[in-house]
């Protein structure tokens, strides 16, 4: 994956209430070989690797944005009942993630 826009190319690639899920919906770690869908933070780790300068840059952008615009953290925003896949796509595109 080059970026989150590429990862989140369809609604089934994004999830709530879990770092990652298999295609059948089972929760799994981000690095699980069958991990298919990811929440925002997990998607960043999957796409950029957790200990890279790109990850640090992107997570800082995402954290600052969700705190300043939505007054909540990344996890809370991702899991909010009102957050839709379209919201996630818009956010990822707007922030260049």
pLDDT digits (tens, 9 = 90+) for 9-50: 999 999 999 999 999 999 999 999 999 999 999 999 999 999
What is the separation, in whole angstroms, between the first and last Cα of the chain? Answer: 11
**In the 3-class helix/strand/coil scheme, how is 6-74 assigned residue by residue?**
HHCCCHHHECCCCCEECCCCCEECCCCCCCCEECHHHHHHHHHCCCCHHHHHHHHHHHHHHHHHHCCCH
Query: For a pLDDT cut of 70, what percent of the chain falls above it?
Result: 99
Q: What pTM was estimated for this model as a whole?
A: 0.89
Whether the CB-CB separation of 42 and 20 falls below 8 Å is answered with yes
């Amino acid at each position: 994956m080059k970026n989150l826009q590429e990862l989140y190319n369809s609604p089934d690639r994004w999830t709530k209430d879990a770092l990652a899920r298999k295609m059948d919906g089972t929760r799994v770690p981000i690095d699980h070989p069958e991990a298919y869908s990811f929440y925002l933070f997990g998607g960043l780790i999957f796409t950029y690797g957790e200990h890279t300068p790109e990850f640090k840059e992107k997570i800082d952008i995402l954290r600052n944005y969700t705190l300043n615009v939505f007054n909540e953290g990344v996890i809370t925003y991702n899991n909010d009942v009102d957050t839709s896949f379209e919201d996630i796509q818009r956010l990822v595109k707007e922030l260049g993630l």
